[in-house]
Amino acid sequence: MNILVTGGAGYIGSHVVKLLGEQGHTIVVLDNLSKGFREAVLYGKLEVGNTGDRELVSRILRENCIEAVMHFAAHTIVPESVADPLKYYGNNTCNTRNLLECCKDAGVEYFIFSSTAAVYGIPGTAGTVSEESETRPINPYGTSKLMSEIMLRDLCTATGMKYVALRYFNVAGCDPDGRIGQSTPEATLLIKVACEAATGKREKLKIFGTDYPTPDGTGIRDYIHVVDLGTAHLAALDYLHAGGESTVCNCGYGHGFSVREVIDTLNAQLDTPVRVEETDRRAGDPPSLIADTRKIHELMSWQPEYDDLHEIIRSALNWERHARF
C-alpha cells in the first residue's frame, strides 16, 4: 500500500515507519523536523514540511497515489499546552483539519489517527477506562486531540473514508534492534526521564506526588512498548483494508505499574540507583489510568509481544546509553 506518515521522523512515527517498511509498504514521511530526526527515517522518502501546508500535502497525496494516511504529527507536552493553548489548537487541530481536507480531495481511503488517553481526563475511582467512557479532557492537549477525533468522525461519515483513532496510554521503550529510539528534547514521559537520570543526562528524577490512594502512594499508569503500539497501527490498517468499520480503540496493556515500581525495575538494571526527589502532585494527574483493551484485541486480533516492564525499560536504557541521534 502507498502510505503517508505525518510525523514519521518522530519517536512513535519512526517506529511505525520501520514496521511498515519491513512489511514492504511504500512510504512517504512528512515531518517538519522540529522534534523529529532525519536519521530516524529508515524507510521511504522524507518530505520536510508541515501538515498545515495544503499545497504541499495535496502534491504528496497526488504524486504518490496515497491510499492510507497515518497521522502522528502533533505537539504533545501537557504543561506546554496549558501555557500556550493556541499553539496546540493551531498545530494539533487546525492542521489536522487542513490535512483531512486534502485527504478528502485526494480520495484517500484509510486514515489512522494518533490520539491519546488524555481525552478521558480524570477517570472514576476504578482508574480503568474503555472507549465508551466519558471524554472530558482537562487540558488543551487532550481537547485538541478530541476535537480532531470529532472532525475525523464527521468527515468519514460524510465521505465514506474509513478511520481508526488509537488512544495511546503511556508509550515507552525503544526499538529492540537499537536503530531508532526516543530522542525528544525536554521529554516528560517517566521512563524516558528516568533513563536520562540513570545515564547522567539529568541530575535527578522527580516523583510528583506520594500520597495517592494507591498501594505505594504513587500514580499508576499503563505503559505500552512503542513497538507494540506500532503493530497496533498495522493491525488497524489491516482491519480497515479487510472491510472493517471506522472505530476508536484504546492502546495499552490493560494493567499498570506505579512510579515506584518503575524506578525499582530500572534500579535493578543499574549499578547505582537513580537519584530521586519527592515533590508535590501535579495538577490534573489522576491516581490511576489504565486501558480497557478488549476492543482492540477482539476487532483486530492485536497480540503485543513486549508486555514486560523490565524489557520496556531495558530497551529505553539501551537507547539512552547508545543513542545514534
Q: Which residue has the cell 506546554?
A: 80
Q: Identify residue 110 by its one-letter amino acid code.
A: Y
Residue 225 CB contacts under 8 Å (≥ 6 apart), including other chains:
172, 173, 304, 305, 306, 307, 311, 312, 315
Catalytic residue numbers read 141
CB 262 within 8 A of CB 274: no
Q: Which residue has the cell 481536507?
A: 101
DSSP letter (8 states) at residue 38: G
Rounded to 10 degrees, the C-alpha dihedral 7/71/75/16 comes to: -50
Three-class SS of residue 250? Answer: strand
Instruction: Tell me which residue of 226, 208, 225 sits closest to 217, measured CA to CA.
Output: 208
Question: What are the DSSP calls for 81-142, one per residue?
Answer: HHH-HHHHIIIIIIHHHHHHHHHHHHT--EEEEEEEGGGG-S--TT-EE-TTSPP--SSHHH
Instruction: Tell me which residue of 91, 20, 66 sits closest to 233, measured CA to CA.
Output: 20
Q: How far apart are CA 134 and CA 140, in angstroms?
A: 17
- Spatial strand order in the sheet of 247-251: 45-48, 26-31, 2-6, 68-71, 110-116, 162-168, 247-251
Q: How far apart are CA 108 and CA 238, in angstroms?
A: 15
